[in-house]
Amino acid sequence: MDKQIPGIHHVTAIASDPQKNVDFYTNILGLRLVKLTVNFDDPGTYHLYYGNETGQPGTILTFFPWLGATRGRRGTGQVAVTSFAVPEGALDYWEERLRDHEITIGERQRRFDEEVLTFLDPDWMQLELVAHEAAGQIVPWEGGPVPRDYALRGFHGVTLWASNPEPTAALLTSILGFRPVQETGPRFRFQAAAGEPGAIVDLLHLPDGERGWGGAGTVHHVAWRTANDAQQLAWQQELAKSGLRVTPVMDRQYFRSIYFREPGGVLFEIATDPPGFTRDETPAELGSRLRLPPWLEPRRAEMQAALPDLNLPGNGSHG
């Protein structure tokens, strides 16, 4: 069975204020809120999903926004940087836009012949925009405030910080099918075998780096794509045979998931592409109201009373 990983399915992070999170990712970065639900494992908090028009795998950034969450520390054993692809020539627009909104940005730099702009979200989570010719392969969300020619086109990749990158590199190449493509100094780049957008993993070797800890502004996990349930089960079996502790399959409504920790400590997920976010909403309705899985629907009134009100982009308020 061909079970190559095409690339990133989604990245999930932690935030401290759901309204600030919605405002930043929709009004400033121009992503679409494609699903408003709750954390199935802790339904007292929202789970916010952002992406392109339909939340295509490879475009999905999600957040657990625990109101008042303590800020975490970016460090080794984490996905330390999440990178989005933008069209070539778009970084002038983004530098001006982010400055106008008083967003903390870094100096533009070149890395592996790519131009990169680094910035921080409201919780100081580190993000990057990478100008890349392959950005045109992803259709952006055109209903937001960012013109199509500059809009975010899903993920370019993620950067893992590691005190010892070799065991992680071995997992990526010998089990998950990534291939080494470039290196410079302490940075080692790998690409998913299928080579689709969002297929890049950079390992940054920080031998004296401090261990990160979870909290607002840190990534909780990165999920890799798999095409269907059968391939996911094949991954589950292969990972278990390799001595990794992998979870049972979990129903996340819009995809199914298995989880395991790679040797450096980063939580990895393998998520199915189907069924997708239109499972319980039409494309036009995506992100417009709170959606709950069937097992939580009887508690809707209780949950809505406990969750903070949100002003949604173009949809009024939700309480």
Residue 265, in any domain of the structure? yes
Residue 3, in any domain of the structure? no
pLDDT at 257 exceeding the cut of 50: yes
Residue 2: what pLDDT?
66
Read off the pLDDT band of 277 (50, 70, 90). very high
Residue 29, in any domain of the structure? yes
Residue 59, in any domain of the structure? yes
pLDDT in tens, 78-109: 999 999 999 999 999 999 999 999 999 999 99
Record the pTM.
0.96
**C-alpha torsion 312→315→317→319, nearest 10:** -90
Residue 1, in any domain of the structure? no
Residue 179, in any domain of the structure? yes
pLDDT average, residue stretch 222-231:
96
pLDDT in tens, 21-53: 999 999 999 999 999 999 999 999 999 999 999
* Average pLDDT along the chain: 95
Residue 304: what pLDDT?
93
With the C-alpha atoms ordered 159, 52, 143, 40, is the resulting torsion angle positive or negative? negative
Which is it for strands 78-86 and 60-65: parallel, antiparallel or unpaired? unpaired
Task: Please state, in angstroms and rounded to a whole number, the distance separating the CA atoms of residues 167 and 180.
Answer: 14
pLDDT at 228 exceeding the cut of 60: yes
| Helices assigned H by DSSP within 18-122 | 18-22, 91-100
Residue 319: what pLDDT?
43
Q: Which domain holds residue 202?
A: 8-318
pLDDT average, residue stretch 177-186:
96
CB 182 within 8 A of CB 175: no
pLDDT average, residue stretch 68-85:
97
pLDDT at 315 exceeding the cut of 60: no
pLDDT average, residue stretch 147-167:
97
pLDDT average, residue stretch 202-228:
97
Give the percent of the chain with pLDDT over 90: 92
Read off the pLDDT band of 133 (50, 70, 90). confident
Residue 291: what pLDDT?
97
pLDDT average, residue stretch 203-218:
97
Residue 95, in any domain of the structure? yes
Least-confidence region, from 30-39, 132-141, 145-154: 132-141
CATH of the domain at 23: 3.10.180.10
Number of domains forming the structure of the chain? 1
Task: Please state, in angstroms and rounded to a whole number, the distance separating the CA atoms of residues 185 and 202.
Answer: 12
Q: How far is CA 211 from CA 67, 166, 206, in A?
A: 24, 17, 10
pLDDT average, residue stretch 175-201:
92
pLDDT at 229 exceeding the cut of 70: yes
pLDDT at 316 exceeding the cut of 50: no
Task: Please state, in angstroms and rounded to a whole number, the distance separating the CA atoms of residues 316 and 200.
Answer: 37
Task: Please state, in angstroms and rounded to a whole number, the distance separating the CA atoms of residues 138 and 152.
Answer: 9
Residue 116, in any domain of the structure? yes
Three-class SS state of 229: helix
For residue 46, the cross-strand partners are 38
What b/e sequence results for 116-152 when a residue is b if at least 16 CB atoms lie within 10 Å of its CB, and e otherwise?
bbbbebbbebbbbbbbbebbeebebbeebebeeebbb
Residue 194 region, left (φ>0) first, then alpha (ψ -120 to 50), else beta?
Answer: alpha
